[in-house]
Each structure stands twice: as structure tokens, then as C-alpha cells.
Amino acid sequence: MIAFVAAAAVAMQVAPAEAAKIQGMRWEGSAEVYPPGAVIKLGVRTCVQGDHVLSETWPVDEGEAMGMHRMTLDANGGTIEIGGKRNVMTRAMWNEEHAQFGIYTQLQAAALRGPELARLGVNTLSVDGPVKTWFQIDRAGAVIGAVNQAPAGDSGRPAYQTFRFDGFWKSNGMVFPRHMEMTRDGKPFFTLDVAHFDAD
């Protein structure tokens, strides 16, 4: 994160009150995750409604009917459902997932302020959230990348994460990346390609 911030000519912090309040966002598409020595291709479908998240994923080679994984999150906890069996999410897992989905709310604030800040010569801004995230904007104010440090599972050790955004869907004042690549501690971690997005 230090290198990212140091590379910025000027930086600006966005106060939490300036962050967009998400009423509802939905997206569908495909993803890849990268456990050691493998690539797993997934179908994805997610709905965010205020503090509530419903995320459904399934391995492409198993199909939605056979391989459904369903996750719910709210402000206090979450659940994981695999093969119809539902379990309460551990606090460590909730901390991680809450931070990961929080970036989509933070992205709204960064995208909203980006053009204004770019005109002032700003190319980096931070947005508070479950974890503080630094966003990079181009000369037109479009968000092109981000970095943060987020809890990583049961280890409790924060992981250094980078995000690259290529193009955005827009709906009712909200944005969402058409293509997003994420690394964790310098290694590929998650890639998302969104085929459909809409927001309230």
C-alpha cells in the first residue's frame, strides 16, 4: 500500500459520510479463483441490498444445480450453504467477507468524486469502510485501481490486496466493474467478469 500511495502526486481522503449508500445492486457473470496449483472457473450471481448480501457461486464444470454455494452477510454475521447444508459463518470469515464486499460501496464514493478530484490534480483518494481502501484515478477521474489490507481468514493477518478495474457498468448512478482482477500478497486471487449489472 505504501508504494501505491507514494506514487501519487496528490492524495485526498473521502470522509465516511461522503460514501454512497447502496440501496440495491445486482450482478451476474463469471469468475476465476486461484488456489495453489489450480484455476477454478465459477458462475456468480450477487445481490446487495443495504447491509444485506446474497452471493451465489457454482463451479462451471458442476453446474448451478449440483454445485451451488450460497453465502449471506449482514451487519452482524453471515451463513454459508453448500449442498443444501447451512452453517453459521465464523467471525474470522465474516471479517474477511465483510471487507471484501465493502469495497463495492467504497467504489461508489471514489467514482462519484473522481472527476472533480482529477480536475484538481488529484490521482489518489482513500475511502473509509470496513477497511480503508485507496483508489487510483486517471486524468479524467475514472477509477482504474485500488489497494487495501484486509483480514485473511483464520490467520488474523491482514493481506495486502490490489485491484485493477477495466471498464464499468452504470445503472441509476451506481457503477460496477465489467472486469476486475484482484491479487493478494502479490499472487492472483480473484478475477471477475460481469455480464449484467443493475442498481436501484
Element holding 10 (H helix, E strand): none
Say if CB 89 and CB 154 are below 8 A apart: no
For 145, other C-beta atoms within 10 Å of its C-beta total 16
Mean per-residue pLDDT, 130-155: 94
Mean per-residue pLDDT, 120-140: 96
CA 91 to each of CA 88, 128, 160: distance values in angstroms, whole numbers, following the listed order: 9, 21, 20
Which pTM value belongs to this model? 0.87
Closest CA to 99 of 144, 52, 58, 133: 133
Q: Considering just the CA atoms, what is the radius of gyration of the chain in Å?
A: 17
- In this prediction, residue 84 carries a pLDDT of 87
Three-state DSSP class for 160? strand
- Residue range 60-80, pLDDT digits in tens: 999 998 999 999 999 999 999
Question: What is the Cα–Cα distance from 124 to 130, expressed in whole angstroms?
Answer: 19
- In this prediction, residue 24 carries a pLDDT of 92
- Residue range 3-19, pLDDT digits in tens: 444 334 445 665 443 44
Mean per-residue pLDDT, 79-87: 94
- In this prediction, residue 22 carries a pLDDT of 60
Residue 121, all three cell numbers:
490534480
For 96, other C-beta atoms within 10 Å of its C-beta total 20
Residue 14, all three cell numbers:
473521502
Band (pLDDT 50/70/90 cuts) for residue 156 is: confident
- In this prediction, residue 99 carries a pLDDT of 94
Give the start-end residues of each E strand in the chain.
Answer: 11-14, 25-33, 40-49, 52-59, 69-73, 78-82, 85-88, 124-127, 133-137, 143-151, 158-171, 174-184, 187-199
Say if CB 134 and CB 148 are below 8 A apart: yes
Mean per-residue pLDDT, 156-170: 94
Say if CB 130 and CB 100 are below 8 A apart: no
Mean per-residue pLDDT, 188-197: 98
Element holding 93 (H helix, E strand): helix 91-119
Residue 53, pLDDT > 70, answer: yes
Domains assigned to the chain: 2-199 (2.50.20.10)
Mean of per-residue pLDDT scores for the chain: 90
- Residue range 9-52, pLDDT digits in tens: 445 665 443 444 567 999 999 999 999 999 999 999 999 998 89
